[in-house]
Amino acid sequence: MKQFLLVFLGGGFGSILRYWISKNLNSYYSNFYLGTFLVNIIGCILIGLLIGLTLKYNYITENQTLLLATGFCGGFTTFSTFALESNMLLKETSILSTSLYMGLSVIIGIFAISLGLWISKTL
């Protein structure tokens, strides 16, 4: 039961922060959902860093991983919103804008996880 509570709390905080960032940034850019893009990239860096530190130093406990990686990062980042916004961009803007948003999100997201893992190795 404790593990469910940790995921719930972390996910709640991550979701609130994602909502706040997206609300404040998405409204300023009509052809690119900057808020969602940034939270997904930041979340990728964070999860890469957390997992990398866990693998390297083994000082992040299973419960901390559940709170921070599964809960917070899981609530903070969002694939479903990314997919919805990609669909909306496809209907409302050009294929180029949609492709740029989708391509950068995936490529930079994978790079961000690698960056987080690399940073954890240098600490």
Give per-residue pLDDT as tens, 36-90: 999 999 999 999 999 998 888 887 899 999 999 999 999 999 898 899 999 999 9
- For residue 11, the model assigns a pLDDT of 97
| Closest listed residue to residue 119, CA positions, set 14, 46, 43 | 46
Confidence (pLDDT) at 28: 77
Residue stretches of the annotated binding site: 74, 77
- Cβ–Cβ under 8 Å, residues 88 and 24: no
Binding residue ranges for Na(+): 74, 77
Q: Which of the four pLDDT bands, split at 50, 70 and 90, describes residue 119?
A: very high
The more confident residue out of 25 and 28 is 25
Residue 69: burial class (beta carbons within 10 Å; 0-12, 13-18, 19+): buried
Q: What is the pLDDT of residue 101?
A: 96
Structural domain boundaries of the chain?
2-25+33-122
DSSP category for residue 27:
T
Question: CA-CA-CA-CA torsion for 53, 59, 62, 63, nearest 10 degrees?
Answer: -110
Region 116-121: what's the mean pLDDT?
95
Helix (H, G, I), strand (E, B) or coil at 51: helix
Q: What is the pTM of this model?
A: 0.86
Cα torsion 32, 35, 37, 43 to 10°: value is 180
Q: Tell me what the mean pLDDT of segment 99-119 comes to.
A: 96
Q: Provide the token pair at 114.
A: 């690698």
